Amino acid sequence: MAKPRLLVVDDEAGLRSMLTVLFGRAGFKVDAVEGVKAALKSITAGAPYDIVVTDLSMPDGSGMEVLQAAQAHDKSTQVVMITAYASTGDAVEAMRQGAYDYVQKPFGTDELKATVDKALEKRRIVTENRELRQHVRGVFESDDVVGKSVAMRRVLELVTRVAGAPS
């Protein structure tokens, strides 16, 4: 199994280095960049990241831009926001925009590691769910299904609708 990809976005060099070591030791392939512009380049340059850990407030922009770009590139990418300037409104807005979680600085490495591990599990589940839905659609949209009666077609249409319904 390939190492999960994680992007760290923070303007503080010391924090970037610490998180690179922490998550590298935990089995992640870590890329670290110092701001929003570099993050946007990294996000669009290659394979999607599994997890993005981004500061909310940086000199060249907002972590919300990073969140939007990551999710536009791959909806199953999980984004964890970190900030020293937390407010309830910021947290609510980040979650409303699709962030997995919001962690306030200073934080313990165990706290952030646990949050990232849970986010990675959510990504795995979301990806698996999407793949299974595609598989089910392929199976039930096949013309090779035995039983082409009107009743059987109705059953297959119902199964297809249910398989595509949000859980």
> Each residue of 125-147: pLDDT tens digit?
988 888 888 877 766 665 555 66
What is the set of domains in the chain, with CATH numbers? 5-128 (3.40.50.2300), 132-164 (no CATH)
Going by pLDDT thresholds of 50, 70 and 90, the confidence category of residue 84 is confident
CB 120 within 8 Å of CB 100? no
Query: Cα-Cα-Cα-Cα dihedral of 124, 128, 130, 132, to 10°?
Result: -170
Q: Given this model, what pLDDT does residue 50 score? A: 97
| Span 67-81, average pLDDT | 95
pLDDT of 77 above 80: yes
pLDDT class of 86 with cuts at 50, 70, 90: low
**CA atoms of 164 and 43, how far apart (whole Å):** 29
